[in-house]
A and B are shown apart, each in its own frame.
Chain A
Amino acid sequence: MKILVIDDSAVMRRIHRNILKERGIADQDIIDAEDGQVALEIAAKNTIGLFLVDWNMPRLDGLDFVHRVRAMESYAKTPIIMITSEAARYNVVEAIQAGVTNYVVKPIKGEALIEKIGKYLDA
């Protein structure tokens, strides 16, 4: 199963990759994207089983990305995890309405992330 990690920060992408690899995911199953636009293209060309999306990105932000990827039929129900540095309520409501599956707050502890996505990794 392929996992798509979308974050404008290279460091964060690295951190996510490390967390996933520690959990046993193969390197080639983890795809990076540095913004929403690129991510959409990758999603269209591959079969992604799980999305990790940074919420605050320059070109196409997380919320927009979620709206668009959910509009794609094959991704109507795919798990999408939102990664954000603030947990304000209005943020969360918007994200839920867009169709996000769950969220983690930065700074991310590896265990916290795995706890939330574990069930999708085994699927």
Chain B
Amino acid sequence: MGKIFGSIRFKIVSVILLVLAASISVSLAFIVANTKENLLGSVRRNLSVNNQILTTVIRNLMLAGEAPIAVQTLQGLKSLEEFEELAIYRADGTTAFNDYATIEFVNRFQDDIFFDQTERTERLILENPNFRSVLETNTPRQNELAAERKMEYFFPILNYAQCRTCHGPSPFIRGVAYYKVSTANSYDRINAAGGFLASFLAVMGFAIAVLLILLMQRIVVHPILAIGSTVAEVGAGNLDVSIRLGTKDELGRLALKINEMIEGLKSRNRLLIENKTIEARNQENRKYLDNIGQGLLLIGADFRIREQYSAFLIRLFGRAEPAGKGFSDFIYPDPAARTEREELETFLSLVFRNTLTEMDMIQAANPLRDKVLLVRDEAGGERRIVVDVGFARIMDGDEVESVMAIFEDRTQIENAREELEAQRERRNSELEEIAAILNAGPASFTEFTEEAVEALEALKRDYGALGDGKVVASLFRSFHSLKGSARYLELQSFERRAHALEDELAAIRDGADPATRMRELEAAAARLAEEVENVRSINERFRAFAPAASERGSAARTDEVLSRIKAMALGMAQELGKRIRVELRNEIGVLPRLSELRNPLLHMVRNALDHGLEEGIERLSAGKEEEGRLSIRLYSPSPGEIAVEVEDDGRGIDFEAVRQKAVQRGLLADGEAADSDRLARIIFRPGFSSRDAVTGTSGRGVGLDAVAEAVKTVGGRISVWTKKNAGARFTIRFPAREA
């Protein structure tokens, strides 16, 4: 309801109707009143005229002495329908022409009843104010009796000069003529006129109203509603609307302005949506970049890295903000790496500029394939990573706009591979240990594990004393011989771990600061300890099942050891790709101090295989047989003396190289003479690697000093015979006393 009453349509319509109604009513009232006035005025005028006629007639009649005619005239007039009442009153209120005396007189005179005797009213008329007023004021008065629809008219009859002749001089006013006429007619006429007018005006008004309403509707309401509904649409979100008004008036202009506004909104909306889409796309890109498991970055034509890159890169390189940096600076932050930076920049320029060449050929020149890089992370530590970087051109028409670099982290793969290897190794080592124990018997293993434990304890004890070269050398020797034993027992993974520990000790022995190697040293020792534990536990289990290690005859043991050494030698040779023949000559049966000599023996055999004996082709070119010859001989050179001899027909010891190396190592002064004996002794010095002795190239090897140590333990001596290209022979001689 309120909507209806509040609407502009209603308002306009009601305004129009009100205005019309008001104006119609006002006009109507006015006109009606006017007409009434006019009509009543004309009735009055009529009456006045009538009265004048009447008075004139009566006067004239009276003047003519024809009073009875006057009376008749009056009577006659009275009967006119026009007049409700028509009377003439004397000033005293009595009705004229009804004085009986007169009447009688007249009647008698006439002998006829000309006048009836009218009733004598008892001067009621004197009470009528108008009557009195006329008498007083000598002016006609009219009185409208609206309720009865009548009009009274009082007219003074004056005593004119002519009248005085009969009537006497007084009074001045003889009487009052009284008329009462019906104004019903007039009123009816007025009403009719009013009614007619009213209906006419109503119809007119209605027509005008309708017309006005229609016009208003068209000119004002419709445009406003049109505008209103369009605006409502816009409010609801639909911007594809516009107001269609052709008019040039204010509403038309308003409509145009609103249309412009809608257009403005539309384009702003579009921009907003575009921005939102771009924003969303950027967010999505950011998500990709943050989560992708590869390093991605873009390089611009100035070889600088662009703003966006994947989060993976940060993790990979351990440092932030590649953006803005030169690409080669980022990869090689070390200013000393000039050649590598140049190489990379040359490559980048090929990628960017040599668009004639296809990308897969350009990849052939990529310096960053499976490349090892050193990265320095925030903590200041250095880390080794392996990356494989692919490059892709991003073209803009025919030109290379930018280049995407895709980093794959191979370090993990490397690590995983290493891990896998380690696991496989562990598994293999266990199998190996089992097989070895089955082969060699638990007894050897017990010895072995005891040896290992002892060596590890010594290491732990001497952690603080690693500054002392002798200590380090001795530790080195014990682990080296342990390694040899492991080899002998075919414990390859143990051998490897012992080798790793050896490496650390060697580094320290060769001058590295113990403090810097502590961590690796401890780690290597820990790994070795782990392995020892493994061997020990498996061994324990075997010992529970196997019969107690029988004390076999020592002779058998000696042969057993020898054949194991032979087997080991053959195995090693195969690994090295060398073909050899192993000769065993046990001329004494039981070897005293077997346990102490076993390791040096092993060592010498290894030496011969590693460094003495050459590969087939080399041997051939030296005029020898392809197959190398290794011989191990146990004999008694003189009574009470035992000799252990290892001989090979390989390269022999190059004394010249030994001399040079000795000079290098500071064991000999430059230019100082040294005969072969002296040089032979030098090769037994700690720190002098057997490799040094043979090829002159430096290497981390174990010195023959370990052998020398063992020889000392049994109270013997070691000597060496060698000839270049013919081979070498190491002989240990010691007194045959049971320990």
* Residue in B347, B354, B364 whose beta carbon sits within 8 Å of that of A87 in the complex: B364
CA distance A73 to B362 in the complex (A): 24
Identify the closest chain B residue to A93 (Cβ): B365
Please provide the chain A residues from 76 to 101 with a CB less than 8 Å away from any CB of chain B in the complex: 77, 87, 89, 92-93, 95-97, 99-101
A93–B360 Cα distance when bound, in Å, is: 13
A103 on the B face (CB < 8 A) = yes
What are the residues of chain B within 8 A of A116 when measuring CB–CB? 358
**Docked-complex contact A96 and B354, CB < 8 angstroms:** yes
Q: Are A97 and B350 in contact (CB under 8 A)?
A: yes
The answer to whether A101 and B350 touch across the interface, beta carbons within 8 angstroms, is: no
Chain A contacts of B358 at CB under 8 A?
101-102, 116
Q: Is B166 in the interface zone, CB < 8 Å from A?
A: no
How many angstroms between the C-alpha atoms of A89 and B350 in the bound complex?
Answer: 13
Contact B350 A102 (CB under 8 A): no
Query: What residues on A are CB-neighbors of B360 within 8 Å?
Result: 102
Residues of B within 8 A of A96 (CB): 350, 354, 357, 361-362, 365
Tell me the complex Cα distance, A92–B346, Å.
12
Interface size on B, residues (CB 8 A): 13
Min CB gap B180→A, angstroms: 130
B64 within 8 A of A: no
Which of B354, B356, B358, B362 is the most central at the interface, judged by chain A CB atoms within 10 Å of its CB? B356
A93-123 vs B, Cβ < 8 Å mask (1 yes, 0 no): 1011101111100000000000010000000
Give bound CA distance, A16 to B367, whole Å: 31
Residues of chain A within 8 A (CB-CB) of B365 are 89, 92-93, 96
Tell me whether A102 and B357 are in contact in the complex, defined as CB-CB below 8 angstroms, given that A92-B365, A93-B365, A96-B362 are known contacts: yes
CA distance A77 to B350 in the complex (A): 16
Assembly CA distance A89 to B339 (angstroms) = 15
A49 to chain B, nearest CB (A): 15
Residue pair B354, A97 in contact (C-beta under 8 Å)? yes
Tell me the nearest residue of chain A to B346, going by C-beta: A93
Taken together as a complex, chains A and B put the C-alpha atoms of A116 and B359 apart, in Å, by 11
Query: Inside 8 A of B362's CB, which chain A residues have their CB?
Result: 96
CB contacts under 8 Å to A, within B85-101, are: none
Pairwise interchain contact B356-A92, C-beta atoms closer than 8 A: no
CB contacts between A and B, total, < 8 Å: 39
Q: Report B708-726 residues with CB < 8 Å from chain A CB.
A: none
Question: In the complex the two chains form, what is the Cα distance from A96 to B352 in whole Å?
Answer: 12
Task: Give CA–CA (A53, B357) in the complex, Å.
Answer: 15
| In the complex, chain A residues whose CB is within 8 Å of the CB of B347 | 93
Contact among B354, B356, B361, B367 for A77, CB-based, below 8 A:
B356
Cα distance, A102 to B357, chains bound together (Å): 6
Selected contact of A89 from candidates B354, B356, B364, CB within 8 Å? B364
**Chain B proximity of A56: nearest CB distance (Å):** 17
Closest to A77 in B: B356
Q: How far is the CB of A59 from chain B (nearest CB, A)?
A: 25
Q: Which residues of A sit under 8 angstroms from B357, Cβ to Cβ?
A: 95-96, 99-102
Which residue of the partner chain A has the closest CB to B350?
A96
**A22 to B364, alpha carbons, bound, how many Å?**
28
- The residue of chain A having its C-beta at the shortest distance from the C-beta of B351 within the complex is A96
Which residues of chain B in 345-389 are interfacial with respect to chain A, using CB atoms and an 8 Å cutoff?
A: 346-347, 350, 354, 356-358, 360-362, 364-365, 367
- Distance of A99 Cα from B354 Cα, bound (Å): 7
CB-based contact B364/A100 at 8 Å = no
Q: With contacts A93-B346, A93-B350 known, is A99 near B356, CB below 8 A?
A: yes
Residues on A with beta carbons closer than 8 Å to the beta carbon of B364: 87, 89, 92, 103
Interface set, chain A 6-61, CB cutoff 8 A to B: none
Q: Is the CB of B361 within 8 A of A103?
A: yes
Which of B347, B361, B362 has its CB near the most chain A CB atoms (within 10 A)?
B361
Name B358's closest neighbour in chain A (CB-CB).
Answer: A102
For A103, list chain B residues within 8 Å (CB): 361, 364
B346 touches A100 (CB 8 A): no
- Given the interface pairs A87-B364, A89-B365, A92-B365, the reply to whether A101 lies near B356 with Cβ below 8 Å is yes
Residues of A within 8 A of B346 (CB): 93
**Chain A: minimal CB distance from B361 (Å):** 5
Query: In the complex the two chains form, is B361's CB within 8 Å of A102's CB?
Result: yes
Shortest Cβ gap from A80 to chain B (Å): 8
Verify A100–B350 contact, CB threshold 8 A.
Answer: no
**How far is the CB of A105 from the nearest CB of chain B, in Å?**
9
Least CB distance from B301 to A in Å reads 18
Complex CA gap A77/B361 in Å reads: 16
Q: In the complex, what residue of chain B is closest to A100 when comparing beta carbons?
A: B357
Within 8 Å CB of A102, what residues of B? 357-358, 360-361
B399 to chain A minimum Cβ distance, whole angstroms, is 14
Question: B residues within 8 A CB of A77?
Answer: 356
Given the complex, which residues of B lie within 8 Å of A87, measured CB to CB?
364
Closest to A94 in B: B365
CB distance from B678 to the nearest CB of A (A): 48
CA distance A95 to B360 in the complex (A): 13
Chain A residues with Cβ below 8 Å from B367 are: 89
Chain B's closest residue to A104 (CB) is B361
Max chain B Cβ within 10 angstroms of own Cβ: one of A92, A99, A103, A116? A92
Contacting residues, chain B, for A101 (C-beta < 8 A) = 356-358, 361
List chain A residues, Cβ under 8 A from B354.
Answer: 96-97, 99
Report how far A5 CA is from B357 CA in the complex, Å.
19
Query: What separation, in Å, do the CA atoms of A89 and B364 have in the docked complex?
Result: 7
Complex Cα gap A38–B653 (Å): 60
Contacts of A89 in B (CB 8 A): 364-365, 367
List the B side residues contacting A95 at CB < 8 Å.
357, 361
The closest CB in chain A to the CB of B363 belongs to A92
| Closest beta carbon of chain B to A58's beta carbon, Å | 25
| A95-B347 Cα distance, complex, nearest whole Å | 13
Rounded to whole Å, the gap between the CB of B370 and the closest CB of chain A is 14
Min distance, Cβ A20 to any Cβ of chain B, angstroms: 19
Could you tell me the distance in whole angstroms from the C-beta of A72 to the nearest C-beta in chain B?
Answer: 14
A99, B367: Cα distance in complex, Å: 20
CA gap between A56 and B346 in the complex, in Å? 24
- The CA of A87 and the CA of B364, in the complex, are separated in Å by 8
Bound: A96/B357 CA distance, A: 6
State the Cβ distance, A67 to closest chain B Cβ, in Å.
13
Q: What residue in chain A is nearest B364 (Cβ atoms)? A: A92
What residues of chain A lie closer than 8 Å to B361, measured between beta carbons? 92, 95-96, 100-103
Q: Looking at the assembled complex, report how far the CB atom of A108 sits from the nearest CB atom of chain B, in whole angstroms.
A: 15
CB distance from B340 to the nearest CB of A (A): 13
Residue of chain B at shortest CB distance from A76? B356
Q: Tell me the minimal C-beta distance from B442 to chain A in angstroms.
A: 56
Known: A89-B367, A92-B364, A101-B358. 5 other contacts (CB 8 A): A92-B365, A97-B350, A101-B356, A102-B357, A102-B361
A: residues with CB less than 8 A from B are 77, 87, 89, 92-93, 95-97, 99-103, 116
In the complex, 21 of the A-B residue pairs with CB atoms within 8 angstroms, ordered by the A residue number, are: A87-B364, A89-B367, A92-B361, A93-B347, A95-B361, A96-B354, A96-B361, A96-B365, A97-B350, A97-B354, A99-B356, A100-B361, A101-B356, A101-B358, A101-B361, A102-B357, A102-B358, A102-B361, A103-B361, A103-B364, A116-B358
The 3 closest A-B pairs by CB, nearest first: A92-B364, A102-B358, A96-B357
